[in-house]
Amino acid sequence: MPSLIKALKSQVGRKLMTGITGIGLMLFLIGHLLGNLTVFGSPDAFNLYTKKLESLGPLLYVIEAGLAFFFLYHTVLGVSIWLKRRKARPEGYDTYKTKGGPSHQSLASRSMIITGSVIFIFLFIHIASFKFGATDTVMIDGEPARDLRALIIEKFTTPAYAFGYAFVMLLAILHLSHGFWSAFTSLGMKHGEGSKKVQAFAYGFGIVLMLGFIFIPLYIYFTGGEGSLISY
């Protein structure tokens, strides 16, 4: 019997953990999007939501540490799998072509390292901009809170932020469209009719989720932050 450490380091374990961390991150994204959508609620809704999150105190740090662990573990595994392929095939083919049919080779599956790397870099900019970005103070329920909603509207009315963000979300759709199906395959899902449904759901899930993320910056940009969905 393999020890747990050895199993985690094995090819099977690495892929399994890529899938588990990936599914964890996808679940987080659902929560993240639902939170973001409060920007279209009452004027105080978004700031109330972020204030509630910040009031979790130590629990928030635990959640953040867990997320960081999942994200870094997923990244390290992805990069190590990519590095290993270069070692496993030091001399590439002069001509290489997929045979199609049951193959899942696609722009999405072949560009996981690129889309993943862009998302990795994006995340640092994203956290620096929004988590640690300078904000005004507003009064929420009679207590001072960070005016993160104003920060979001300010950032997304600049083209670089709005379009940069939307572009990265498009890459994330690609990443998820292979990642979602692949995660379930890594967890032991067999290839067959059920797998096709999961693949279809994967595309749908990735697209709906990311369109949600794309909608917010583009809506704010094109309405100059004054669209009817944003109440003041």
Partner 1 sequence: MSDNMKIHLKYWKQDGPTAKGFFEERTLDSVNEHMSFLEMLDVLNEELQLEGKDPVEFDYDCREGICGSCNLVINGQAHGPKAETACCQLHMRNYKSGDHITIEPPRAAAFPVIKDLVVDRSAFDRIIEAGGYISVKTGSATEANSIPVEKEQSDVAFDYATCIGCGACVAACPNASASLFTGAKIAHLNKFPQGEVERYNRVTAMVDQMEAEGFGDCSNFGECEAVCPKGISISAIAEMRKDYVKALW
Nearest in space to 151 (alpha carbons), one of 227, 64, 220, 209: 220
Told to check if 191 binds partner 1 by CB under 8 A, we report yes
Q: Is 228 in the site for partner 1 (CB under 8 A)?
A: no
**Does residue number 126 form part of the binding site for partner 1 (CB under 8 A)?**
no
Nearer to partner 1, 94 or 143 (CB): 94
Check residue 105 for interaction with partner 1 (CB under 8 A): yes
Distance separating alpha carbons of residues 123 and 51, to the nearest angstrom: 21
The reply to whether 182 sits near partner 1 by the rule CB under 8 A is yes
| Single-letter residue type at 156 | F
Options 107, 187, 208, 229; binder of partner 1; rule CB under 8 A: 187
Out of 84, 131, 196, 197, the residue judged to bind partner 1 by CB under 8 A: 84
89 makes contact with partner 1 (CB under 8 A): yes
Task: List, in sequence order, every beta strand (DSSP E) within the chain.
Answer: 137-140, 143-146
- Spell 123-148 as b/e; 16+ CB within 10 A means b: eeeeeeeeeeeebeebebeeeebbbb
What lies within 8 Å, CB to CB, of 77 at 6+ separation is 14, 17, 18, 21
Using CB under 8 A as the binding rule, whether residue 1 contacts partner 1 is answered as yes
Q: Contacts with partner 1: how many residues (CB under 8 A)?
A: 47
Name the amino acid, one letter, at 112: M
Phi, psi of 136 (to 5 degrees): -80, 170
| 141 is a contact residue toward partner 1 (CB under 8 A) | no
Which of residues 4, 143, 159, 193 is near partner 1 by CB under 8 A? 4
Query: Minimal distance in Å, beta carbon 83 to partner 1?
Result: 10
- Binding-site member from 173, 174, 186, 210 for partner 1 (CB under 8 A): 186
Nearest distance in Å: CB 186, partner 1: 7
Residue 5, interface with partner 1 (CB under 8 A)? no
Six-digit token pair at 23?
Answer: 């599914």
The closest of 210, 231, 223, 215 to 157, measured between CA atoms, is: 223
The structure tokens listed for 121 are 């870099």
Does 159 contact partner 1 by CB under 8 A?
A: no
Binding site for partner 1 (CB under 8 A): 1-2, 4, 7, 10-16, 81, 84-85, 87-105, 109-110, 112, 178, 181-182, 185-192
